Structure 1
Amino acid sequence: MELNGVSPTVDDVKALALTNYGHFTSMLVEDRRVRGLTHHLSRLSRDSRQLFGVDLDIEQVRQYVRDALAGQSTPVVVRVTVYDPNLGLGNIGSEADPQVLVTTRPASLKDAPPMTLGTVSYKREDPSVKHVGLYGAMKNRRFVQREGFDDALFLNPDGTISEIATSNIGFIRGDQIVWPRSEILLGVTMRLLDQGLEDSSTTETLTLADLSEMDAAFATNAATGIRPVAGIDNGEWPTDFPLLHELREMYAEIPGEVV
């Protein structure tokens, strides 16, 4: 863990626990390369302007990430969190001087196993921002895990499908990829896949009733890539659908950008 390139003190990081105002991005780093690095950095820059009203020095962020990777020889998941340690509950409206916290954790070297999803009615606050306010998402993930599922699939108040707690969801219908048309956090993995799919993907307003038309489903996340979805609520899908394998291969072939 490094804050602006040096080890932080407890006082430096306590604002994350006590105030919890900031944003982040997580990315898989393999051989110092990241798929979609430009998108990750653009997200950090955009969200800094939205949350703090200031521009972020992206080249400095890259240097902090490089510093945190020193001595790392195996794949890791890097999380870059941007927040201001001096902003508290009483002065949250003050001018901000956001800082950059970089943390790393080992990445799994295996493909993520198929997952099951339980549906909940929930819409993330400010869904287009990857903010640190994860209470609602984690509360619903905890609820469905205690019901025997792996993660939560969010339904909007009108019953339309949006996203998974910390992933996007896509569906396969024949040879076409269908993304839910909803207000969501557009993930980097989803964006990279969609760029490669070109005309073979579409977005549609989907409800649970529409899922009977789908042949398979999958989740996308920068840390795990593409993960088959084995079922939603009581419904089930095959996890060895041929197009799922093609998607994984296509994603694996996307070249990483050097940090």
Structure 2
Amino acid sequence: MELNGAAATLKQIKSLALTNYGHFTSMRVESNRVRGLSLHMERLARDCHYLFDAELDIDHVRHCIRKVLSGGTQPTVVRVTIYDPALDLGTIGSDAEPHVLVTNRAAPQAQVSPLRLQAVSFRREIPAVKHIGLFGVLERRRFAQRDGFDDVLLLNSDGTISEIATSNIGFVREGQIVWPRSEYLNGVTMRLLHQALDEQISTELLTLSDLPQMDAAFATNAATGIRPIASVDHTQWPTDHAVLTELRELYEDIPAELV
């Protein structure tokens, strides 16, 4: 764990727990390369301007990532969190000086188990921003796991589908990819697939009643790539659908950028 390229102290990081105001991005790093690295940096700069009304030095961010990766050879998931340790509950409106906290953990296996989702009515605060205010969605995930599911599928107040707790969701129908039409976090993996597929993609308002007409479902996330979805509530799909295999191969063929 490093803050601005140096070892972080407890005093410097305690505001993440006590104030909890900031944003982040997570990325899978293999051989010092990241698929969609430019999109991750673009997200950090955009969210920093929104939350802090400040410009973010992307070259400095990449330098901090390289320092944490120094000497490592195994695939890892790097999280970059942007926050200001000087801000607290009473001074949250002060001019901000964004700091760069970089942490890493072992990357999950390339092939992860399919997800079983429980549909819940919930909307994340400011869905388009990858902020660190995750209490509400983690509460729903916890309840779902206690009920025997892996994660939650979030539904808007009108019953339309938006996203998974910390992933995007896509569907396969007659060989085409269908994304929900909603306000959600436009994830990097989702954007990379969208760019690669182009004409094979549509975006529609979807509700739970539309799911039985889908041939397969999948989650997209920078840490795990393309992950099959086995079910949403009582609707089930095959997790070995040919299009899911094609999507994984397509994603793996996307050139990664050097950090």
So what's the TM-score if we normalise by structure 2?
Answer: 0.99
Shift of 1:91: 0.4
User: How many Å separate the matches in 1 of 2:145 and 2:235?
Assistant: 17
Q: Secondary structure at the match of 1:169?
A: strand
Give ranges in structure 1 of 5+ residues lacking alignment. none
- 1:2 corresponds to which residue? 2
For residues 130 and 100 of structure 2, the distance between their equivalents in structure 1, rounded to whole angstroms, comes to 15
Partners of 1:77 and 1:63 in 2: CA distance = 16
Paired residue type of 1:129:
V
Number of residue pairs the alignment of both structures matches: 259
Q: Determine the C-alpha separation between the residues in 1 that align with 2:116 and 2:38.
A: 31
Q: CA RMSD in A?
A: 0.5
Please say if residues 172 and 214 of structure 2, whose CA atoms lie closer than 8 Å, have aligned partners that are also in contact.
Answer: yes
In structure 1, the residue matched to 2:238 is 238
The equivalent residue for 2:222 is 222
CA shift digits 1:81-112 (9 cap, x unpaired): 00000000010000100100000001123311
Q: Is the 8 A contact 2:153 2:165 kept in 1?
A: yes
Q: Secondary structure at the match of 1:212?
A: helix
Assess if the C-alpha contact under 8 Å between 2:110 and 2:224 holds in 1. no
Q: Which residue of 2 aligns with 1:202?
A: 202
* Cα distance in 2 between the residues matched to 1:81 and 1:210: 37
In structure 1, how many angstroms separate the alpha carbons of the residues matched to 2:235 and 2:26? 31
1:255 maps to amino acid? P
Aligned-pair CA distance for 1:222: 0.1
Identity level (%): 62
Mapping 1:9-158, distance limit 5 Å: 9-158=9-158
What is the rounded CA distance, in whole Å, between the counterparts of 1:181 and 1:62 in structure 2?
A: 33
Q: In structure 2, the residue corresponding to 1:158 is in which secondary structure?
A: coil
* Letter aligned with residue 221 of structure 1: N
Measured in 1, the distance between the counterparts of 2:54 and 2:130 equals 17
For structure 2, the residue ranges without an aligned partner over 5 or more in a row are none
4+ runs deviating over 4 angstroms = none
Deviations 1:121-172 (A, max 9, x none): 0000000000000001100000111110000000000000000000000000
Cα offset, 1:113, TM superposition: 1.1
Give the counterpart letter for 1:194 in structure 2.
Answer: H
* Equivalent in the alignment of 1:247: 247
Alignment partners' CA distance in 1, 2:115 and 2:8 = 36
Cα distance in 1 for partners of 2:151, 2:109 equals 21
CA distance in 2, matches of 1:230, 1:63: 40
